[in-house]
Amino acid sequence: MTLTFLTGGARSGKSALAVRRARRSGRPVVFVATGQAGDEEMADRIARHQAERPEGWSTVEAPVDLVDACAALDPGACVVVDCLSLWVSNLMEHGDDEAATLDRARALAGWAAAYDGMVLVVTNEVGLGIVPMHPVSRGYRDRLGRVNAVLARDAGLAQLVVAGRTLTLDPQED
């Protein structure tokens, strides 16, 4: 099982769970971060996440070119990708249309499923609430949902994280 997909609401414990699993993997760990400190609040969030990571882990910043960054990694590591939610937002801001975003997501899923190591992908589940009022928000929710489905389909293990606990999702049906 190369790819583990962790989804859930904001502050549900997804990232902390990924960090614990990576720590226990016994492999060298590469943390691939998609967040960008565009404002003080986001800088604080990033700093809190960085403080949760053990020293000695490598960090790769990949806010847009996530697939290329992952493809360049040496085999055998435990790779934590945190998170798809910010990546999709960055791609939208970068000007990618939905087709381009989904092409990137398929490439990422293909890489992760074939990687000679362990991959933990973290993302937010944003489709459980009300339909957003603004078209951009609806587009983001829909696009992230489709990206999540692409990654979950290729995952050996897909879990919903709620209050730090997991619920294992059934495998993809054909």
Residue 134 catalytic? no
Cα dist from 134 to 37, 83, 102, whole Å: 24, 23, 22
Contacts for 85 with CB less than 8 Å, ≥ 6 apart: 123, 124, 126, 144
The pair of three-digit structure tokens given for residue 5, joined into one six-digit string: 């997909």
Among residues 45, 49, 141, 153, the one annotated as catalytic is 49
List beta partners, residue 7.
123, 160
49-88 burial, b at 16+ Cβ within 10 Å, e below that, comes to: beeebeeebeebebbbebbebbeebeeebbbbbbbbbbbb
Query: Token pair 């990422």 is at which residue?
Result: 108
The DSSP bridge pattern shows strands 3-8 and 29-33 to be unpaired
- Residues with a catalytic annotation lie at 49
